[in-house]
Each structure stands twice: as C-alpha cells, then as structure tokens.
C-alpha cells in the first residue's frame, strides 16, 4: 500500500491526491486506507518513510562491500544524485518537494521532516568520523560538514527533481563530490572511477 501511495503522489502531486486514489490503486476501500493512515498528511509522511527506509537499506548493503571511507562517502553522494546508482526512481524526489512545502505550516509533518534530516546528517557524520579514524579524511568538524553537505545535496536534489538543464545529475554529483573532496582532502579522480564501476554493476543488475 505504501508503494502504491508513493506512485500516486508522484504522479498526481500531493495536493491532488485523494485517499480514494490510493485505494483504487491498491484495490482496497478508502475506509481501509484511512484505518491504516488516519490522515492524508500521514499517508505522505509514511510513504516517504517507506522510501527512505528502502534507500538506507540499499545503502547499507552497498557500503558493506566498500572498504575505504572515501569510496563509501562517494557512493552515498552518487546514490543521491545519479540515476544509475540511486535505488529509487528519480521522480521520488518530488515527494520531498511536497514534504518541504507542508512542513512550515504543519507541526506534525515538520516533526517527521526533522527526524528525516537528523538521520540524513547522522549518516554523513558517521561516514566522516570513520574516515577520520582511518586517517583518510582531514580533521574537519564532522557536524558542520554533515550539515553543509546535506544542505548542498538537498538543494541539488531540488534542481534534479525540477529537471533544471543547468544542473543535470552528473553535474550535481561532480559539484557535491568536489566540495566533499576539497574539505576532506581525498582524491576525487579515484572516486569518480569507482562510481563508474558501480554504475556498470547497477545497470547489469537491472537487466
């Protein structure tokens, strides 16, 4: 049901999505959808939570096969920006546009958004600290770096979702990786090669 809700909200936009639309997509009744989600706002937040959990689970699986901290951080950035490494459809970024638009005026949605951002930043922070412990990264403030890079990735994701011709996914990836490598002092060329290899693996797995 959550995947169906994702698809409907992406297709129609949150403002034009009705409980009945989700019920129709899943072959159930509107009453059953309301039973599980209570409100339309909760339907949106739970749909995004489902998307996020799937994304992080895939990230954990991939990170387990990557040895260096620099390569793990690069893969994290690539999963955010590049369609050939992101496990979810690019259009799912549109869900975040709806979430961000609702947050300023809806305390419940704002609280959920805050939790998502905390998880996002903590993942980055943990990657940086692991790299510093391994001697791969410069001694930057991990909290400040996580806030800055997560904000940069969020902004680039908006441009990707809007299909801005000046900010295609490849350029977004290069800009974000360039910032990260400049701050943390790791070799960006080596990591770009690793991403191209990962992209080939993903393409093969989808055939």
Instruction: Note the pLDDT tens digit of each residue in 95-138.
Output: 888 889 989 998 988 998 999 999 999 999 999 999 999 999 99
Q: b/e for 116-138, b at 16 or more Cβ within 10 A?
A: eeeebbebbbebbbbbbeeebbe
pLDDT of residue 206: 47
Mean of per-residue pLDDT scores for the chain: 87
Burial grade of 186 (CB within 10 A; 0-12, 13-18, 19 or more): buried
What are the sequence ranges of the domains in the chain?
Answer: 2-205
Which numeric CATH code is attached to 2-205? 1.10.357.10
pLDDT of residue 35: 86
What is the length of the chain? 207
**Cβ contacts of 3 within 8 Å, gap of 6 or more:** 50
Model pTM? 0.84
pLDDT in tens, 48-86: 888 889 889 988 998 898 989 999 999 999 999 987 666
pLDDT in tens, 151-204: 999 999 999 988 999 999 999 999 999 999 999 999 887 776 666 555 556 555
Distance CA 86, CA 80 (A): 6
Q: Is the distance from CB of 13 to CB of 98 less than 8 angstroms?
A: yes
Distance CA 101, CA 96 (A): 8
pLDDT of residue 196: 59
């Amino acid at each position: 049901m959550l995947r169906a809700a994702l698809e409907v909200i992406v297709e129609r936009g949150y403002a034009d999505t009705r409980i009945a639309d989700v019920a129709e997509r899943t072959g159930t009744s509107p009453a059953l959808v309301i039973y599980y989600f209570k409100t339309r706002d909760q339907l949106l937040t739970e749909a995004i939570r489902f998307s996020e959990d799937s994304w992080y689970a895939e990230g954990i699986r991939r990170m387990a096969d990557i040895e260096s901290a620099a390569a793990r951080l690069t893969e994290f950035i690539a999963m955010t920006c590049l369609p050939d490494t992101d496990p979810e459809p690019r259009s799912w970024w549109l869900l975040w546009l709806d979430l961000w638009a609702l947050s300023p005026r809806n305390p419940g949605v704002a609280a959920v958004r805050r939790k998502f951002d905390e998880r996002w930043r903590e993942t980055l922070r943990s990657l940086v600290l692991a790299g510093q412990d391994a001697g791969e990264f410069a001694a930057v403030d991990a909290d400040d770096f996580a806030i800055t890079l997560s904000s940069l990735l969020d902004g680039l994701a908006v441009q990707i979702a809007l299909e801005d011709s000046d900010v295609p996914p490849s350029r977004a990836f290069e800009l974000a990786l360039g910032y990260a490598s400049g701050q943390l002092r790791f070799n960006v060329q080596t990591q770009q090669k690793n991403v191209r290899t990962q992209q080939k693996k993903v393409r093969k797995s989808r055939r």
